[in-house]
Every structure is written in structure tokens, then in C-alpha cells.
Amino acid sequence: MSFQTQNAKGTEAKDTMMTIAQTAKKLGVNLFDYIYDRLSSAKNLPSLAEIIRLKASSVLDST
């Protein structure tokens, strides 16, 4: 058994998933809820990019 990826595409997929997971964590978004929302096409949750924009604009508005 290996805990490493088998090829470059696997490494890219793992890196992408880890980036999404860490971004969701920093934003206080439940990762499993977010992934389910995206995969089910429900789109009930805003995208991580939209949450970042909203948080940035609220910080700018308060200064």
C-alpha cells in the first residue's frame, strides 16, 4: 500500500483537493457540505471565491 499518488494527475488532484479543504477551513465552511453542494449541483452555498470576495468587501467597508 502506498500513501503517495501514482502519477502527475493524481498529484494534481490531491493538491487541488487539499487547497479546497484548507480554504474551506479558513473560511469556516464545512468541507463535506460544500463538496456535496458542488457535486449535487444544488448550488445552495456560495462558491469559496464568492465568500472570499464578501469577506474582503466587509473588511474594506469597515475601514
Give the chain's mean pLDDT. Answer: 94
Is residue 57 one of the residues assigned to a domain?
yes
According to DSSP, residue 3 is labeled: S
pLDDT reported for residue 54: 95
User: What's the structural domain count of the chain?
Assistant: 1
C-alpha to C-alpha distances, 63 to 2, 43, 53, 56, 57, nearest whole angstrom: 50, 31, 16, 11, 10
Is residue 3 one of the residues assigned to a domain?
no
Cα–Cα dist 33/35, whole Å: 6
Instruction: Domain of residue 37: give its range.
Output: 8-61
Is residue 32 one of the residues assigned to a domain?
yes
What mean pLDDT is predicted for residues 45-61? 93
**Confidence band, pLDDT 50/70/90 cuts, at residue 14:** very high
Is residue 2 one of the residues assigned to a domain?
no
Q: Which residue has the higher pLDDT, 29 or 1?
A: 29
